[in-house]
Amino acid sequence: MAAYGLYSYIQSNKRRSIALLFGLFVLVYVMVFAGALLAEALTVNAPVDYLLRAAEFDFIKALPFATVGALVWIVIAYFFHQSMIDAVTGAAPVTRAQEPRLWNILENLCISRGIAMPTLRVAEDDALNAYSTGLSEKQYSITVLRGLMNALDDAELEAVLGHELTHMRNGDVQMMVVAVVIAGVISFFGELIFRLFFQASFYGGGFRRRGGGDGDRKGGAGLVIIIALVLIAVAWILSIVIQMALSRQREYLADAGSVELTKNPDAMISALRKIEGRGEITRATSAVMEMCIDNPREEFANVFDTHPSVDDRIAALIKFAGGYDPGPLAIEPPREEAPAEAAPPEGGPWGEPAAQPDAQQGPWGPEPAPSPKDEGPWGPKPR
């Protein structure tokens, strides 16, 4: 019954996530309409109803172009998102020969559960973090940072890999990549519109007047500008809230899925305690950090955090899966092994064979030891 409950919860979360993604896509159109409002208000001084109708007409004309543009953006992300993320984090694919420990842990976990093994990548960064990417099974990839590999033991590392595999099984990876792409479109349009507006306002000489321009008309243009700016701000804030809603719930489910795969809640809990506060990837963008197992970046006093706190995640694990919380954990720096002392070279300075301890030295080097046949009844025969 518990397994059925978890499965139902995952399916419900997928339905909610699809609805949120649809809402995120609608925000692109809101941004386009706001741009049309600004364009009309900066071009014509007219009553509000006239400007709204003109903006609606412009929006209908721009609708196909906005849709195609957003879809092209998603197609580009489908083929190139991995290379773009790798360029930001410095990750590169590895083989079994290069990283046997990490490879074997992931392979054993995939084989035991009948999961196709994703591409394995390692980023040379001291941060304690990992993330998964890909929009299809052939593209699935798990990236682990070097700092995480050095700090976690095998059981904890297996728990983190199980967490990322769960994201793939639940379809979280595709949703987050698409969400990040659409949010990028919204941010791009928002910044573009703001830049065009301020340039037109401060460097373009103000409004371009058409059709007279009494006080009512001037006031109408100003009000429409305010409406457009409010729409842009609301669309931007809602895009952040939608990403937060997608991220927060999926982390709880991925933690639970990791315990289901590994049967080891203690390992997941101790891994989270070690990762806590140590996952900052300095050169990564906020979009990349949203896909990591932990995002330590705080936004507006945790209101817009994309990840639940480690304490909340551990509390959920203990409540539903059991386990022991050791509390905050210190991490010992990796031990540096002393270099092995070189063995003294055998032989002489020119590489000749070393003299045997019992060999007699002659004028031209060591003389051969006497053989048993040279022995007489009273000792070695004289030479």
In whole angstroms, give the CA distance from residue 280 to residue 126: 9
Once rounded to an integer, what is the mean pLDDT over residues 287-297?
85
Q: Which candidate, 236, 256, 241, 249, places its Cα nearest to that of 323?
A: 256
Cα 83 from Cα 87, distance rounded (Å): 6
Is the pLDDT at 270 greater than 80, yes or no?
A: yes
| Class of residue 211 by CB neighbours under 10 A (exposed 0-12, middle 13-18, buried 19+) | exposed
Region 325-340: what's the mean pLDDT?
71
Has residue 303 got a pLDDT over 50? Answer: no
Q: Which amino acid is at 127?
A: A
pLDDT of residue 299: 56
Asked which of 19-23, 76-80, 265-269 is least confident by mean pLDDT, the reply is: 19-23
Residue 355 has pLDDT above 60, yes or no: no
Cα–Cα distance measured from residue 133 to residue 77, given in angstroms and rounded to the nearest whole number: 11
Which pLDDT does position 311 carry in this prediction?
A: 94
Whole-model pTM? 0.71
Backbone angle region of 364, left / alpha / beta, with phi > 0 → left and psi within -120 to 50 → alpha? alpha
| 112 against 161, higher pLDDT | 161
**Kind of pairing, strands 141-145 and 360-362?**
unpaired
Token pair of 341 as six digits: 């002392």
Question: Which residues are known catalytic residues?
Answer: 164
Which DSSP state fits 204? S
pLDDT in tens, 21-75: 787 778 888 888 988 888 888 888 788 888 899 999 999 998 898 888 878 877 8
357 vs 255: CA distance, rounded Å:
67
**Region of 350 on the Ramachandran plot (φ > 0 left; ψ -120 to 50 alpha; else beta):** alpha
Two structure tokens written together for 157 = 């590392």
Burial group, residue 100, by CB count within 10 angstroms (0-12, 13-18, 19+): exposed
Question: pLDDT tens digits, residue range 136-185?
Answer: 888 899 999 999 999 999 999 999 999 999 998 888 887 777 777 777 77
Contact 243, 180 (CB under 8 A): yes
Residue 213: count other Cβ atoms within 10 Å of its Cβ: 14
Predicted confidence at residue 345, as pLDDT, reads 53
Whether 212 has a pLDDT exceeding 50, the answer reads no
The angle subtended at Cα 27 by Cα 25 and Cα 33, nearest 5°, is 120
Helices (H), the chain: 2-43, 48-89, 100-113, 146-151, 154-169, 172-203, 215-262, 265-275, 286-289, 310-321
For residues 173 and 293, what is the distance between their CA atoms, to the nearest angstrom?
12
Cβ atoms 243, 260 nearer than 8 A: no
pLDDT given for residue 61 in this prediction = 92
* 349 residue type, one letter: P
- 253 pLDDT higher than 60: yes
85 closest CA partner among 302, 313, 291: 291
CA atoms within 13 A on the CB side of 2: 5
CA dist 21 and 23 (Å) reads 5
Task: Name the residue among 203, 243, 227 with its Cα closest to residue 49.
Answer: 227
Per the CB < 8 A criterion, the answer to whether 220 and 40 are in contact is no
Contacts of residue 207, defined as CB under 8 A and 6 or more positions apart, other chains included, come to 41, 42, 43, 45, 213, 218, 221
| pLDDT computed for residue 14 by the predictor | 66
Q: Rounded to whole angstroms, how far apart are CA atoms 81 and 77? A: 5
Average pLDDT over residues 350-371: 53
